[in-house]
Amino acid sequence: MNVLRRVLNRGLLAAACALSLGLPLQPALAADASSPDGLIRQLSLETLESVKTDKAIQGGDLQKIISLVDGKVMPHVNFQRMTSSAVGRFWRQATPEQQQRLQDEFKTLLVRTYAGALTQVKDQTIALRPLRASPSDAEVVVKTEIRGKGDPIQLDYRLEKSGAVWKIYDVNVLGIWLADQYRNSFSQEIGANGIDGLIKVLTERNQKAAGGKA
């Protein structure tokens, strides 16, 4: 799972930048979360405000950051779709209980890695590119760019609309969709040890992270 870990750390650091630093836009333009780009913009501003006003978060309190990420960002992610996409063709072979376990452990992994990446965010900024979509589209890609020291980092989001709600279901970092990268690692683990083997690996990784050993 070392490849998966490297991808997570790199990709979620970029995502943490996007959802914690705010956008170079006027506040009056940042309130509309009924559109997909509006959602990304609003999450950025709200998370930034939380980081700026909480001294414990500023001091690197990981549990506080985990709570922020879990409460502010993760409700806007479709974890069932993200997990099923990452597991790929094996998802249909899993029992409902296995599917739920995979989803729970995958979410825990993402939350902790995302929170850890958030502690590394410094003075980066993010630019939101114009949205190319029609009002009737139910799935769109919101493109952004992280700017700081070094070369800009491409960061795009896939979002889906269910009713009036937009949710993120994949993230593209430097041209690689993370669900695709997960799928490669997950498939190898399932091929070697079955679905329960993948659940075990994810569970053990989360337990080590919770104990401060990851």
Q: What pLDDT shows up at residue 212?
A: 64
Report the candidate in 58, 36, 51, 66 with the shortest Cα–Cα distance to residue 164: 36
How far is residue 69's CA from residue 111's CA, in Å, rounded to a whole number? 7
Amino acid 195: pLDDT: 97
Domains identified in the chain, total number:
1
Q: Which domain holds residue 48?
A: 2-210
Note the pLDDT tens digit of each residue in 150-172.
777 777 889 999 888 899 999 88
- pLDDT, residue 69, reads 79
pLDDT in the model for residue 122:
61
Q: Note the pLDDT of residue 140.
A: 95
Helix, strand or coil, per DSSP, at residue 61: coil
**Phi then psi dihedrals of residue 15, to 5 deg:** -65, -35
Q: Which residues of the chain have pLDDT under 70?
A: 1-33, 45, 48, 51-52, 114, 116-124, 212-214
Rounded Cα–Cα distance for residues 154 and 127 (Å): 10
What distance in Å separates the CA atoms of residue 104 and residue 202, rounded to the nearest whole number? 10
Residue type, 202: L
Do residues 50 and 57 make contact, with C-beta atoms less than 8 angstroms apart?
yes
Q: What is the CATH number of the domain that holds 101?
A: 3.10.450.710
Burial of 158 (0-12, 13-18, 19+ CB in 10 A): buried
pTM of this structure: 0.77
